[in-house]
């Protein structure tokens, strides 16, 4: 039983470590936003053309599917969620899945 408990603890610890290393900081998020031109319409803390990222985080707080939903919204574009100004679609050529997942993960921490 002790070996099994140790194994489970090790797996949990390694999983937590992997998640922590996957997180990005504000500097890395800013680099992705600049490269993908997100910062032309969004800022972390105030409405510009589109909503502030902190407002997006607040809207999706507690939603277990927030990351998945936001991936779809960013890829497809659209309007109506935060007003009439449309957000254009953001294809993989503009921002990779990995960068988009990292950025959305960071946004949801705000």
Domain assignment of residue 12, yes or no: no
Domain assignment of residue 74, yes or no: yes
42 neighbors 52 (Cβ within 8 angstroms) = yes
**Residue 57 lies in domain:** 25-107
Domain assignment of residue 72, yes or no: yes
Tell me what pLDDT residue 22 has: 54
- Residues 10-43 pLDDT 10s: 333 333 333 443 579 999 999 999 999 999 999 9
| Top-confidence residue, 98 or 9 | 98
CATH of residue 90's domain is 1.10.760.10
Total domains in the fold of the chain = 1
How does DSSP assign 35-93, residue by residue? HTTGGGTB-SSSBSSS--HHHHHHHHTT-TTHHHHHHHHHHH-B-SSSSSSPBPP--TT
pTM score of the predicted model: 0.78
- Residues 34-61 pLDDT 10s: 999 999 999 999 999 999 999 999 999 9
């Amino acid at each position: 039983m002790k070996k099994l408990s140790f194994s489970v603890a090790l797996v949990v610890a390694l999983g937590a470590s992997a998640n922590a290393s996957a997180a990005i900081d504000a500097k890395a998020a800013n680099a992705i936003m600049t490269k993908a031109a997100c910062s032309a319409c969004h800022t972390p803390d105030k409405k510009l053309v589109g909503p502030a990222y902190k407002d997006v985080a607040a809207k999706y707080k507690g939603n277990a599917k927030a990351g998945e939903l936001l991936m779809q919204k960013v890829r497809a574009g659209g309007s109506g969620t935060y007003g009439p100004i449309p957000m254009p679609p953001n294809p993989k050529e503009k921002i990779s899945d990995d960068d988009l997942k990292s950025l959305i993960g960071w946004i949801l921490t705000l």
